[in-house]
Amino acid sequence: MTQKHATPSDNRVTIVPTGCCHDCGGRCVLKAHVKDGKIIRLETDNGEEPQIRACLRGRAYRQRVYSPDRLKYPLRRVGERGEGRFERISWDEALDTVASELKRIKGTYGNSAILLAGGSGNQGMLHGANQVARMLTHFGGYTRTWGAASYEGSLFASMATYGTISTGNTRDDLLNSRLIIMWGWNPANTIQDPGTSLYLAKVREKGAKIVAVDPRYTDSAATFAHQWIPIRPGTDAAMLIAMAYVIITENLHDQVFIDKYTVGFDKYREYVLGIEDGIPKTQKWAESITTVPADIITDLAREYATSKPAALIAGWGPARTAMGEQYSRAANVLTAITGNIGIHGGYAAGFMRAYSSREKRGPRGPKNPVEVGAPPRKDSLYKLRGGTNPTSARIHSSKIYDAILRGRDGGYPADIKMAYVVASNFINQHPNTRRGVEAFKTLEFIVVHEQFMTPTAKLGDIVLPVNTFMERNDIAPPWLGAPYYIYLNKAIDSLYESKSDLEICRELSKRLGIPHAFGNESEDELLRNIASFREDIPDYDAMKRDGVVKIKIPEPIVSFKEQIDDPEHNPFPTLSGKIEIYCKHLADMNNPMIPPIPKYITHWENYDDPLAAKYPLQLLTTHCKTRAHSTWYNVPWMKEIEPHSVWINPVDAEARGIKDGDLVDVFNDRGRIRIPAWVTERIMPGVVNVSQGAWYDPDEEGVDRGGCANVLTNDEQSPGGAVPMNTALVQVELASHAAP
């Protein structure tokens, strides 16, 4: 039922306070103007500061809800898998089929044969992939992946350095910084808390210096920065280590801070100065690796060390590389040796989660039986609490296709026989898409809960239509470090025959003989219960009425303030109790690819890989402003704003006879995509960019006309678990030159 809220002049219009909660780094306020059961307009937060204003995608959401392409009815595959031919069936038939396949797979192979391919499509606390996880847990368990595409490199480094993922300060604290370095960070497009751009604009107005280190001249660099430093992808650790060289040799490090709060500086110093390996990590050394001129490195190092408090914000993009955690570790350590941690205006580079919602310990659900008793994974930080669950029962997300194809014989913990896909465009969003299709085609059964016929849904045997967050109630927690919650009131009834993931799982559970897995509570009752475990949601009804609760914090949150102000009583949650420049937990792994101090180590498909002779361009696959991953891809307004294209520098374009707008192929041994070129100096020579999330759409020859970046990425992992989506070598040629 649609609720009554404010009544504007046209009394047939109801304004429903709701929100947007796909996985885009936001979570924003939307007010749906509903007339005759239809959303006719979307407004955003015009209320009290700080406003939680929706971006272009949220404001265009009507085109997604009312898209003619919405999945309307349950579908069953006819014809070959992946061919895309389906027939309409009833909900009963669809659910009976899914239940009987689940039972068959479990009976024949055991629960570990069921892969939960759960994605981040919905970020509300009630709906989405977590309901399927709950159902499958009660059903005896399932196999899942580890290795978050988003941030595993940064997360691993934060755990190793600080023993926690709660690093950085809340965005309002940027106003206290004298210098901000946006290192591989583009919040003007790639949202990381909705208010970030506003604070950067205020910083700029105030006059503090902002520097961008990025192979691309991003919108953030163009809008906020005084200086852009282009750098070769995958080499950031070298520049950060050379900055440490300048700081140490010029005696600009904070020795008092180092002595009091850190361990292992001497070992790092020996590596940096070349005492360990005979190679001093000078600015010249780094110039030859990064292409950043030595004097620019020197200047930035001096400025950073002498402009205290300064915020080095080390984004996740450069960590999404083949040795990603070394970059993150090097950044974390640089913030430590300059004493920029635990103070206003400083910033402990790391995972970033300044504000963590205050959760009371509620009743815990059962554990996934497939994982119970499995020993910790080799090379995991299993001695630390928090971070990634180290169970060896999980398969790295990059290796999942290899695992499907090779199973236990290939050394994996399971023989996967079916995929349960929910809130995920799995095939499109994991590296090496063509191998993914090959792997998925070997499965015995695939069920997909979706809103649209995505490239992944196309591979389903049964596809179930799911409603959107406009058609149900939910609470969305803050994405990273912002203090608020959104309450998404249901604005309209579910369109067509679509249902929520929760409703689907309830129905299935009855058929699976586990009706106790889900009670009969209403959405409101369930959400009220969820909210009751959050200390920072004092008044559920007020939040529901307003569509948002903004939590008042007396001053900006500074992570590690307690540790710095009163170290006696507040050790860092590392094994040593201090910031670990040298990490013994890493040393104990005895893996030269995971050294105990941060190092620059070159890697596969780096600029100096012999493969560069054949594929000379380094590929970035960034997030973009018109989509959250592959979501919004099919929204016409978004396509109008920024057509999908490959960024290429004029130097590289000219050498290939490519003019702006020409149709080109970007390719390597894994595949070939065909999209227009955007010839621009906003990307450095030797690097090209294809934003991730365009839908895979192969022609008869296998050339992807959609331009899915993951056709080109490698299904490998970094030693610490990063998904290396920004490490791939490619070539570009005019499409008309492609061999037939």
Ligand X SMILES: Nc1nc2c(c(=O)[nH]1)N[C@H]1C(S)=C(S)[C@@H](COP(=O)(O)OP(=O)(O)OC[C@H]3O[C@@H](n4cnc5c(=O)[nH]c(N)nc54)[C@H](O)[C@@H]3O)O[C@H]1N2
Q: Is 54 in the site for ligand SF4 (CB under 6 A)?
A: yes
Of Mo ion, ligand X, ligand SF4, none, which one does residue 194 interact with (CB within 5 to 8 Å by kind)?
Answer: ligand SF4
| 686 belongs to the binding site for ligand X (CB under 6 A) | no
Closest residue to ligand X using C-beta atoms: 121
Cα 31–Cα 35–Cα 41 angle in degrees, nearest 5? 40
CA atoms within 13 A on the CB side of 353: 19
Q: Does 318 bind ligand X (CB under 6 A)?
A: yes
* Site size toward ligand SF4, by CB under 6 A: 13
**Rounded least distance, CB 60 to ligand SF4, Å:** 9
470 contacts ligand SF4 (rule: CB under 6 A): no
Q: Which residue(s) pair with 729 in the sheet? A: 618
- Assess 674 for contact with ligand SF4 (CB under 6 A): no
Q: Length of the chain in residues, anyone?
A: 740
Q: Which of residues 663-682 bind ligand X (CB under 6 A)?
A: none
Quick one: which of 465, 461, 459 has its CA closest to 430?
459
Site string for ligand SF4, 612-631 (x = CB under 6 A): ----------------x---
Binding-site partner at residue 45 among Mo ion, ligand SF4, ligand X, none, CB < 5 to 8 Å by type: none
Cβ nearer to ligand SF4, comparing 132 with 638: 638
Choose the one of Mo ion, ligand X, ligand SF4, none that binds residue 189, judging by a C-beta under 5 to 8 angstroms depending on kind: ligand X
Amino acid found at 51:
Q
Site for ligand X in 410-429 (CB under 6 A): 422-426, 429
Residue 482 interacting with ligand X (CB under 6 A): no
Phi, psi of 708 (to 5 degrees): -75, 120
The verdict on 22 binding ligand SF4 (CB under 6 A) reads: yes
Shortest gap between Cβ of 723 and Mo ion (angstroms)?
A: 10
Burial class (CB in 10 A: 0-12, 13-18, 19+), 74: buried
Smallest separation, CB 149 to Mo ion (Å): 6
The two tokens of residue 588 are 């104990």
- Rounded to whole angstroms, how far apart are CA atoms 467 and 717? 34
Residue number, 118 or 163, with CB nearest to Mo ion: 118
β partners of residue 34: 14, 39
CB of 194 or CB of 671, closer to ligand SF4: 194
State yes or no: residue 621 binds ligand X (CB under 6 A): yes
Q: Does 119 bind ligand X (CB under 6 A)?
A: yes
Residues 6+ apart with CB under 8 A from 453: 69, 71, 84, 463
**Is the backbone peptide bond immediately before 309 cis, with ω within 30 degrees of 0?**
yes
- The Cα 454–Cα 129 span in angstroms is 17
Helices assigned H by DSSP within 110-165: 129-138, 152-162
Residues in binding contact with ligand X, number by CB under 6 A: 63
Site string for ligand X, 156-195 (x = CB under 6 A): ---------------------------xxxx--xxx----
**Per-residue burial over 81-90, b = 16 or more CB atoms within 10 Å of its CB, e = otherwise:** bbeeebeebe
Q: CA-CA distances (angstroms) from residue 291 to 208, 228, 286, 607, 684?
A: 27, 13, 8, 11, 10
By CB under 6 A, name the one of 191, 416, 464, 684 that touches ligand SF4.
191
For residues 144 and 391, the answer to whether their CB atoms sit within 8 Å is: no
Q: For ligand X, which residue of 343, 466, 579, 684 counts as binding (CB under 6 A)?
A: 466
Please say which residue, 242 or 579, places its beta carbon nearer to ligand X.
Answer: 242
Of 594, 600, 727, 603, residue with least CA distance to 156:
594
Question: Token pair for residue 642?
Answer: 């920024």
Residue with tokens 């606390």: 125
Strand (E) or helix (H) holding 259: helix 255-261
Nearer to Mo ion, 317 or 706 (CB): 317
Q: Which stretch binds ligand SF4 (CB under 6 A): 20-28, 97-105, 248-256, 511-519?
A: 20-28
| Run of H or E including 420 | strand 418-422
725 binds ligand X (CB under 6 A): yes
Q: How many whole angstroms separate alpha carbon 78 and alpha carbon 95? A: 17
Nearer to Mo ion, 150 or 392 (CB): 150
Interaction pattern, residues 422-461, with ligand X; x per rule: CB under 6 A: xxxxx--x-------------------xxxx-x-------
Q: Measured from the CB of residue 256, what is the shortest distance to ligand X in angstroms? A: 30
Check binding of 423 to ligand SF4 (CB under 6 A): no
Residue with tokens 């239809």: 38
What is d(CA 722, CA 720) in angstroms, rounded to the nearest whole number? 6
Cα 47 from Cα 135, distance rounded (Å):
40
Q: Which of 144, 399, 417, 629 binds ligand X (CB under 6 A)?
A: 629
494 burial level (CB within 10 Å; 0-12, 13-18, 19+): middle
The single residue listed with the structure tokens 């001093």 is 280
Which amino acid, one-letter code, is at 596? Answer: P
Which one of residues 17, 19, 25, 481 is an interface residue with ligand X (CB under 6 A)?
25
Which residues, 495 to 554, sit near ligand X by CB under 6 A? 501
Q: How far apart are CA 235 and CA 323, in angstroms?
A: 9
Q: Which CB sits closer to ligand SF4, 57 or 561?
A: 57
The correct pick among 19, 58, 128, 595 for binding ligand X (CB under 6 A) is 128
- State the pairing for strand pair 179-183/729-734: unpaired
Residue closer to ligand X by CB (options 58, 345) is 58
Could you tell me the smallest distance in angstroms from the CB atom of residue 565 to ligand X?
30
642 φ/ψ angles, rounded to the nearest 5 degrees? -150, 95
Interface ranges with Mo ion (CB under 5 A): 150
Q: Is 215 in the site for ligand X (CB under 6 A)?
A: yes
Which residues are near ligand X by CB under 6 A?
A: 23-25, 119-122, 127-128, 149-150, 183-186, 189-191, 213-216, 218, 231, 233-234, 236, 315-318, 320-321, 422-426, 429, 449-452, 454, 466, 501, 620-623, 625, 627-631, 692-693, 709-710, 713, 725-726
Which residues are near ligand SF4 by CB under 6 A?
A: 20, 22, 24, 26-28, 54-55, 57-58, 191, 194, 628
